[in-house]
A and B are shown apart, each in its own frame.
Chain A
Amino acid sequence: MAYLELKGIEKFFGEHRAIKGIDLEIQPGEFVVFVGPSGCGKSTLLRLIAGLEHIDGGQLNLDGRDITALPSSKRDLAMVFQSYALYPHMSVYENMSFALKLANERKEVIDEKVRRAADILNLTDYLERTPGALSGGQRQRVAIGRAIVRAPKVFLFDEPLSNLDAALRGQTRVEIAQLHRDLGATTIYVTHDQVEAMTLADRVVVLRDGLIEQVGSPLDLYDHPANQFVAQFIGTPQMNVAALQTLPSAVQSTAPSGTQGGSMGLRPESVSITSATEGIAATVVLIEALGAETLIYAKTAAGAQIVSRQAQRTAFKVGEQVGLQLDLSHAHWFDANGRTVTNPA
């Protein structure tokens, strides 16, 4: 039986149906990431689970209990907010102990739990400070600390890293992953950053327009996207997708049946660039040399922009005529509605 179960969850903002009936089952200890473009409803869905928004339709069960109508304060969930939302008038210690104090926990127990959490998060030296006297990264850790002292049933993270700079974001991402491994707590994490989704998640839920597009492990989504949207949302740079009729007839003839009016997708690592005499003729428009890998953007005569990823550095120059070699054994085929017809084996 599922630990957290969403059954046909719906949310309306006025006439607008923001969440259109979500079904999802989350197992104990799982790290689930909600990912999607802005406005897809991922934060709203999290707030519905948290009880901060009213659920307009469907049912929400936690640990065998219907919590659809239960107020947030009674759900036993902890949330880390994008803005951290620390209590500015309380010290770090008071921030972290607030929930335990409300739960009438004994003083010694509170003290022990707060100090242990502070120790895990390297906050011991800052317990007496107020949030105003902390850096962004430290505030973030206090927000996490406030969640973990309680040992709640589920941790909810709402884009917790988006206010941090790139270096700190990467570092905190690793810390959150470690924390989850150590605590083994059930976690739902909302992000628009697919790299965070790929690196943290046991399972990724891709959302668009209030609907689930696909649920699966990170690599499952990468290798077997259910449709063109997921295929292009997961992976950087984006998967190359070209409409069937813009492809050379040699390629078109390999298309499986059901792809009429559809398109073909190919990950950048399945495209290689050779000299102009071979493959599909194209012109180099941009080269991104990242050191460990090189991204070469080229434009075909038919106007399609294709990106190639290679481990070696390149001698090609912008404006140079080149040939594209497509590894069709790794091709994804989509029908006219963008649904996947076949994924590579």
Chain B
Amino acid sequence: MRHHRPTVTPLLMLRTLIAWSVTLILFFPLGWMALTAFKTELQAIAVPPLMLFEPTLENFAIVQERSDYMHYALNSLITSVSATILGLAIAAPAAYAMAFYPSKATKDVLMWMLSTKMMPAVGALMPIYVLAQASNLLDSLFTLTVIFTLSTLPIMVWMLYAVFKDIPKEILDAARMDGASLWQEARMVLLPLAMGGIASTGLLCLVLSWNEAFWSLTLTAAKAGTLAALIAQYSSPEGLFWAKLSAASLLAIAPIVVFGWFSQKQLVQGLTFGAVK
């Protein structure tokens, strides 16, 4: 089939309109938050809402003064990066086995793993909290890392499974015939071929762990708190301070948004792996 430059049809216009509307709706809260972060508390609650105002950095200063931003950011960084590395180390061998040496149970195992994601996290809250408490692991980076790893593991295995499935097994057979050990086969043949997919899997795990709030809030306090905990501090007893809350939130999401912006191509590629051949 020949490809023509698409002509502007009413359908295309409608689709474009819908796409933009959805994008704006999704972006609006974020944009509004970014605006509010630069307002004073009074401007933030003004009715009708102010669109034009003189921006101030006061909120950021207060947030940094009242709570140590770097402390929380570092916790977020440590837990999400560790969870990603640990997750890849567990998910890659699992996906390798399922993609290249499938058994009758492989499909069921994959479905079962995915089904664990359907369970609401609160369902596991009690046992995990009690376990952490009993073993003196509340408010610890270690616990958080393990929880992050476990909760993203199903998705990582699924993604890596799809990535490996796209690689013909005969190429790995050929490497083995050429005298490669399992490790050499993985490092010199599989890894270079799957690099893109592995990178996007890691990126996704990083983003998901960074954004995780439920377990961060319930299992940590001052010591191991992540940026989610930092934000939560500003919606507390003294009442809501919209401007400071916005400033804290903006600080919390800024690193991952910037990171995501530069790696969006990888992320999209990863999420659509196996979907289009």
Contact = CB atoms under 8 A, between A and B. Distances in A.
Interface of A: 50-52, 71-74, 76-79, 81-83, 85-89, 98-99, 102-103, 146, 150, 156
A88 B170 contact: no
B179 A85 contact: no
B180 interface: yes
Given A85-B168, A87-B189, A89-B192, A73 B176 contact: yes
Contact of A73 (B179, B192, B193): B179
A85 B171 contact: yes
B68 interface: no
Given A85-B168, A85-B170, A78 B177 contact: yes
A81 B173 contact: yes
A81 B170 contact: yes
A71 B168 contact: no
A48 B151 CA distance: 41
Given A83-B168, A83-B170, A102-B184, A88 B177 contact: no
Contacts of A83: 168, 170
Nearest to B172: A85
Nearest to A89: B192
A74 B178 CA distance: 9
Given A85-B168, A89-B192, A89-B193, A71 B184 contact: no
Contacts of B181: 73
A79 B174 contact: yes
A315 to B, nearest CB: 49
20 contacts: A52-B173, A52-B176, A72-B176, A73-B181, A74-B179, A78-B177, A79-B173, A79-B177, A81-B170, A81-B173, A83-B168, A83-B170, A85-B171, A87-B174, A88-B171, A89-B192, A99-B178, A102-B178, A146-B178, A156-B177
A83 B174 CA distance: 11
Nearest to A94: B188
A71 B180 CA distance: 10
B130 to A, nearest CB: 44
A73 B175 CA distance: 8
Contacts of B168: 83, 85
A156 B176 CA distance: 14
A89 B190 CA distance: 10
Shortest 8 CB-CB distances between A and B: which pairs?
A99-B178, A85-B170, A85-B174, A72-B176, A102-B179, A79-B177, A89-B192, A73-B179
A73 B174 CA distance: 10
Contact of B180 (A52, A73, A79): A73
A85 B181 CA distance: 17
A79 B188 CA distance: 19
B190 to A, nearest CB: 10
Contacts of A156: 177
Nearest to B167: A88
A97 to B, nearest CB: 10
Contacts of A85: 168, 170-171, 173-174
A82 B189 CA distance: 19
Given A51-B176, A73-B180, 13 more contacts: A50-B177, A52-B173, A52-B176, A71-B176, A72-B177, A73-B176, A73-B177, A76-B179, A78-B178, A87-B189, A98-B178, A98-B188, A99-B178
Contacts of A79: 173-174, 177
Interface in B106-145: none
Contacts of A99: 178-179
A83 to B, nearest CB: 5
Interface in B172-223: 173-181, 184, 188-189, 192-193
A87 B170 contact: no
A98 B171 CA distance: 13
A102 B180 contact: yes
A77 B175 CA distance: 12
B201 to A, nearest CB: 19
Given A81-B170, A83-B168, A102-B184, A88 B176 contact: no
